[in-house]
């Protein structure tokens, strides 16, 4: 997962996010401009928690 982080940039926050996840952002990869493409690439959306860079797959 760390490899994806180094190639990605932070975008977001996600619309409709639950209150406790408002500080998490989607990772946008080079050449991947939609959430569906990201899902196909990694099998799910990757969220990055700001500050500690904690990864949460989904």
pLDDT tens, 19-47?
544 444 455 555 555 556 555 554 444 54
Domain count, the chain: 1
pLDDT tens, 43-54?
444 544 444 444
C-alpha pair distances (Å), 34 with each of 8, 14, 26, 31, 56: 13, 12, 10, 9, 18
Phi-psi region of 50 (alpha: psi -120 to 50; beta: other; left: phi over 0): beta
Q: Which residues contact 44 (CB under 8 A, 6 or more apart)?
A: 57, 58
25, β-bridge pairs: 48
Q: Identify the domain containing residue 27 by its residue range.
A: 2-56
Question: Considering the entire predicted model, what is its pTM?
Answer: 0.22
Name the helix (H) or strand (E) containing 42.
helix 35-42
């Amino acid at each position: 997962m760390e490899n994806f982080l180094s190639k990605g940039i932070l975008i977001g926050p996600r619309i409709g996010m639950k209150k406790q996840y408002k500080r998490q952002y989607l990772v946008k990869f080079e050449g991947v401009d939609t959430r569906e493409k990201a899902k196909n690439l990694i099998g799910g959306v990757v969220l990055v928690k700001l500050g500690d860079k904690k990864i949460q797959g989904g």
